[in-house]
Amino acid sequence: MRPPDTNEILLQVEGVALSFGGVRALKDVSLNVRKGEIRAIIGPNGAGKTSMLNVVNGFYHPDRGTITFKGRTRDRMQPFEAARGGIARTFQNVALFKGMSALDNIMAGRTLKVRRGLLWQVLRCGPALKEELEHRHRVEEIIDFLEIEAIRKVPVGRLPYGLQKRVELGRALAMEPDLLLLDEPMAGMNLEEKEDMSRFIVDVNNQYGTTIALIEHDMAVVMDLSDRVAVLDHGVKIADGTPDEVKNSQAVIEAYLGVAH
Amino acid sequence: MLYREAGQFKTTYAEDMAIFPIRQDRIALAVLLGIAFIGVPLLATFHIWPFGSDYLLWAILLPFLILALAAIGTNILVGYCGQISLGSGAFMAIGAYSAYKLVTGVHIPLAWLSFAISIPPLPVFASILLGGLIAAGVGILFGIPSLRIKGLYLAVATLAAQFFFDWAFLRIPWFTNYAPSGSVNAPELNFFGLIVQSPIERYLLCLLLVTLMALLAKNLVRGNLGRQWMAIRDMDIAAELIGIRPLYAKLTAFAVSSFIIGVAGALWAFVYLGSWEPLAFSIDRSLQLLFMVIIGGLGSIMGSFVGAAFILIVPIMLNLIPAELGVPLSTETIAHFEFIIFGSLICYLLIKEPHGFARLISIGKEKLRLWPFPY
């Protein structure tokens, strides 16, 4: 069940600035994600949304500012450390392991949960086999949840885009993350696929209690799904609040529609 | 019609995750192993065709087995982890020379410490395995650059390993126990009291080791570590994101690959060659292994065997065919034709199926499942 809305802060980004050469992608952005909520980050193209996610999971190291996740503050970490901390992520353009089957992709998401080392895996018997089967069991639950049973043995390179997105979500879920970052989970999907994906996102949030931060351009989806929305424009946070508050914010309207002269 | 999996229900995940989940495949494998372990020795003992002489055993099956093992090692690094390596020959050499040093006893005088490292001569089997382990250590060392450089640049870096060890084993007399000719001889192959001498004994020894190591390698690549390697190969950024440490994944791939190649190198030297010099492990050997892996199928253990068979056996066949057919050609002409035909065969295969024999076989299986219907 969905955890009761608390005000406990899971992720706090404080005064983060990031620049690439002369381009300042993020200028002093602060925002937080509460435990158990669905948090959206929106903004026009080039607003710095993806940069924000990349900072959170360690791809980019911010020039200034701190990131506090689960009460621990840090300013520099590697992506796999973020993963170990419980941050999972999907990409705008699907980043699956093309040569592997859907099942293996999701199984790869269990890497951090694997306890037996190389020597046990070579033998693949006793505890190692038992562990492998447990992971398989867990992964099958996710496959069930995402309704991709039929394609589990298919190499993901052969799957249509919508299903690839689903497998990628599955791989992130296999990590049993505390915070799930979704970078445009609905980009390039038709209405039906968007509805499916929205349902999965809400279900993930409800059933597993996973906190979700997502970037999305489809306003209807964002306003429907999210508890709170932050709006970025040119690397600056221009609005933050419930969907209704954001919708009526003058700054947001100007950012999206332009200013009347 | 014969190759149907209809009616074979799997009720546990363990059954579904077996190496050969389809019954017909298991039967085929059992038959193959039966032929290899029982049929061949029987035929060879009684000198029944085609084992009338030791030629087939000595010149084809023995090198095939050992090079298939080396190809498995290469495949783990190149095919599964995606790190192109041109240094496989060097790792075979490291396995061979380390095993040689261990089997003859190691003595390193450290005069300035008034101390010497001395290891008494070890048994053959332990030396071969330790040779593999030393190759693994060196593999890790040469794998470190892979954390920074990728693709073709890494291939060039591994090429450095190849040339360095070619040089080292040729020029540093310590490795060859100061043999004046630079060539060294394998010890008596005493495995726990059993002396391996005749071709059939050598064949069985290699077959046993290769089968075992192929099984263990398969276990690795279908387990979590194998998935980590493939994840690094397919998309290293996403791999890091799900918690895979590139350092660990790449270096384990280098270590496991070098271990297998090192053991294969020791077998090649001890069991097949008997006496050898560094030329046996030159860049040609590295390229040969790489071709085996590419033609057999990147990322397939079975493909390594098929690739090894193709690269090794087809030239021999091409060489024998004209004589068998009674075509009057000089040996020189035959050798030229061998190159031409073999080269064009490789080109044709790679154009037809760039993913190698492994893919061809899996396509064949899919077709066979539906046969006689097209879909």
Same domain for B110 and B190?
yes
Is the Cβ–Cβ distance between B297 and B355 less than 8 Å? yes
Same domain for B190 and B76?
yes
How far apart are the two ends of chain B, measured CA to CA in Å?
13
Disruptive mutation site among B129, B234, B237, B242 for chain A (greatest number of A CBs within 10 Å): B242
Same domain for B161 and B23?
no
Alpha-carbon distance A47 to nearest alpha carbon in chain B (angstroms)? 23
Same domain for B334 and B205?
yes
Please indicate if any CB of chain A lies within 8 Å of the CB of B124: no
Same domain for B280 and B356?
yes
The pLDDT-based confidence of B38 (bands split at 50, 70, 90) is very high
Contact A129/B14, CB-based, under 8 Å? yes
Concatenate the DSSP letters of all residues of B309-351 into one string.
Answer: HHHHHHHHHHHHHHHHHT----HHHHHHHHHHHHHHHHHHHHH
B375 pLDDT above the threshold of 80: no
Expressed as residue numbers, the domain containing B330 is: 66-370
Residues in Cβ contact with B3 at an 8 Å cutoff, skipping those fewer than 6 apart:
B22, B24, B365, B368, B369, B371
Same domain for B220 and B306?
yes
The answer to whether the Cα torsion of B175, B179, B181, B183 is positive or negative is: negative
Same domain for B5 and B105?
no
**Considering only alpha carbons, which residue of chain B is nearest residue A93?**
B238
ipTM for this model: 0.90
- Asked if residue B247 is part of any domain, the answer here is yes
Same domain for B71 and B48?
no
Residues B305-359: tens digit of each pLDDT? 999 999 998 888 888 887 788 877 788 888 888 888 888 988 888 888 888 899 9
Whether the full predicted model's pTM is greater than 0.90, yes or no, is yes
- Asked if residue B294 is part of any domain, the answer here is yes
- Asked if residue B61 is part of any domain, the answer here is no
Strands A211-215 and A38-42: parallel
How far apart are the two ends of chain A, measured CA to CA in Å?
50
What CATH number is associated with residue B341? 1.10.3470
- Asked if residue B57 is part of any domain, the answer here is no
Same domain for B91 and B173?
yes
3-state helix, strand, coil in chain A (%, to 5): 40, 25, 35
pLDDT at site A144? 94
Q: How far apart are CA B309 and CA B287, in angstroms?
A: 15
- Asked if residue B226 is part of any domain, the answer here is yes
Give the closest residue to B312 by CA, choosing from B297, B293, B292, B294.
B292
Is the Cβ–Cβ distance between B93 and B129 less than 8 Å? no
Is the Cβ–Cβ distance between A64 and A14 less than 8 Å? no
Concatenate the DSSP letters of all residues of B231-271 into one string.
Answer: HHHH-HHHHHHTT--HHHHHHHHHHHHHHHHHHHHHHIIII
Same domain for B130 and B11?
no
Same domain for B37 and B3?
yes
Q: Which residue has the higher pLDDT, A81 or B301?
A: B301
Alpha-carbon distance B220 to nearest alpha carbon in chain A (angstroms)? 5
Is the Cβ–Cβ distance between B290 and B86 less than 8 Å? yes
- Asked if residue B104 is part of any domain, the answer here is yes
Please indicate if any CB of chain B lies within 8 Å of the CB of A38: no
- H-helix or E-strand spanning residue A75: none
Residues B262-294: tens digit of each pLDDT? 999 999 999 999 999 888 999 999 999 999 999
The pLDDT-based confidence of B202 (bands split at 50, 70, 90) is very high
Same domain for B37 and B101?
no
B46 pLDDT above the threshold of 70: yes
> Hey, which residues 40-69 in chain A have their CB within 8 Å of chain B?
57, 59
Number of domains chain B contains: 2
Q: How far apart are CA B295 and CA B307, in angstroms?
A: 5
**Considering only alpha carbons, which residue of chain B is nearest residue A84?**
B243
- Asked if residue B60 is part of any domain, the answer here is no
Segments of chain A scoring below 70 in pLDDT: 1-6, 75
Alpha-carbon distance A133 to nearest alpha carbon in chain B (angstroms)? 7
Kindly state the percentage of chain B with pLDDT values over 70: 100
Please indicate if any CB of chain A lies within 8 Å of the CB of B244: yes
- Asked if residue B23 is part of any domain, the answer here is yes
A57 interaction partners in chain B (CB closer than 8 Å)? 241
Paired with B276 in beta bridges are B184
